[in-house]
Amino acid sequence: MDRLVSHLILVSGWRRRLIALMAGAASVGALPPFDVFPVLFLTIPVLVYLLDGAAAESEGGFRFRPGTRFSVGWWFGFGWFGLGLSWIAEAFLVEPERHALLLPFALVGLGGGLAIFTGLATSLAARIWPDGWTRILSLASALAAADWLRGHVFSGFPWNLFGMTLSGSDATMQIASLTGAYGMSFIALALAGAPAVLFPRRLRSRGGFVYLASVFAAILVLAGWGAMRLSGAEDRVVAGVNLRIVQPAIDQRDKWDPEKRQEIFARYVELSAARLGPDRVGLLTTTHLIWPESAFPFVLTEEPAALAAIAELLPLGTTLITGAVRVERGAGRPRVFNSIHVIAESGEITGSYDKVQLVPFGEAIPFADRLEPLGILPLVNAPRSFTPGTRRESLSLSPAPAALPLICYEIIFPGTVATAGEPRPGWLLNLTNDAWFGTSFGPWQHFRQARMRAVEEGLPLVRAANTGVSAVTDAYGRVEEILPLGQSGVIDAALPQAIDPPFYARHGDLTLLGFLLCGFGICLYGRFTSLSS
């Protein structure tokens, strides 16, 4: 083994880059829905050894040269993001005549652009790269900081966080209630890099063995704490609230076909009213009927016949919550919003929310006024880019507590509830249309991220997805009801109660800050002392 590690450290040129690429791609096995976390015990040490070998060639760490640590990090990140986000290819093949030619550029551009963050992280780690076990903390701190940065700059894209690799069980997912997903990135990397203390032999030390023992103890403690937290959880529901979630499983190719508008609307009505058994009597006992994002192949507010049909569908006391495209028409060009409407049994729209965080290039084109006249349009089949909403706020949905609406992509951002202000909502409402991504692993990753928000905030999650995954989870992220990917049907469920705000909901990324200060501090101290010995 020592000979193999020595070979990894000495490898150079294109071989080093290829190994980094393969290690990053293999690391995707630790992400949902695969959840094979132990693969990181192989791939992260490989990254450490490659960075060891690049030490003599880095000369300052921030130059983009084949031998530098930036390059090693970039190629690792390109494998991580390139394969981990390969499911986006499905979206470009929904309308291949419009978008297929852009697919190679999108995959390479997205993977390569996001890999810059991992390259910068390895460059930062190189500035304080000590010998021995503390270099693992240097890498974990830098990559966790890069995850946080990636989630915030240029509107943010916190997908494929390293912390998601610890979400494979309900027990380990509970860590998010303390640290959030960004803090989990530090923990995952600090754990996964531990085998690097064993090789090469010349770097073995008593401190390294203490670190390795601490890692195994930490794994047991974290899993045990999560299990204890769940064992004390009470299964309480909100009295007098009964939900029906509709998952119509409409193919994305049909979704905006004007010739199928009546067929699609009829499917929603049929599923909503379906009587599925003695205890599932359609809408007679339902207080809240929930349809997914952009449910209608038309602008609902401009279709009085559709609103009248909804009024006829809804019994007294039943409210419809639905995704819909909303259009504001004025003297200039119309403004298009991706919205949620709350509709009373009379057919009247009593509340609305406009999506604030739009998907770049999917729903909105940057510099749209200049690029759209050139024919560069968003993936969504709309006449122009969507307009973002002005603020995030809860929806009043009596007799249920107020809900924080999050449309599709908005659910992937940790700390979202804090941006909505007071009072604290009673549940998270996520409407989405993952039909864009077929049966790939993208929708499963999206669902896992939604569950993570429930754990972080101590709030139940109600999720309606066109083709899945639709579900209800409790405030600990545990799945109560689910409709799998691609299945048409409904979920009838009670609304779980919220719990007291956990540490992360109250203090945000304070734990991550503590991790980074400790991690970088130990590395700096170890570089100038014998701590690594």
Q: For residues 461 and 495, give the distance between their C-alpha atoms in angstroms, rounded to a whole number.
A: 9
- How far is it, in rounded angstroms, from Cα 453 to Cα 446? 11
The Cα 472–Cα 461 span in angstroms is 6
**How big is the CA angle at 169 (ends 167 and 174), to the nearest 5 degrees?**
65
Token pair belonging to 97? 């005549």
Residue 100 CB coordination number (10 Å): 13
Residue 14 phi, psi dihedral angles, 5° rounding: -65, -25
Tokens representing 367 are: 């510099």
Residue positions annotated with a catalytic role: 293, 355, 408
Residue 307 to residues 235, 244, 312, 337, 472, Cα–Cα distance (Å):
37, 19, 9, 19, 27
How far apart are alpha carbons 419 and 403 in whole angstroms? 14
Contact indicator for 451, 430 with CB cutoff of 8 Å = no
Cα–Cα distance measured from residue 510 to residue 504, given in angstroms and rounded to the nearest whole number: 8
Q: Which of 247, 250, 244, 293 is nearest to 484 (CA)?
A: 247
Strands 461-465 and 427-432, how do they pair?
parallel
Hey, is 484 helix, strand or coil?
coil
**Cβ neighbours of residue 171 closer than 8 Å, sequence gap 6 or more:** 223, 224, 226, 227, 230
Q: In whole angstroms, give the CA distance from residue 329 to residue 312.
A: 28
Cα atoms found within 13 Å of the Cα of residue 314, Cβ hemisphere only: 24
∠ Cα 414 418 424 (to 5°): 120
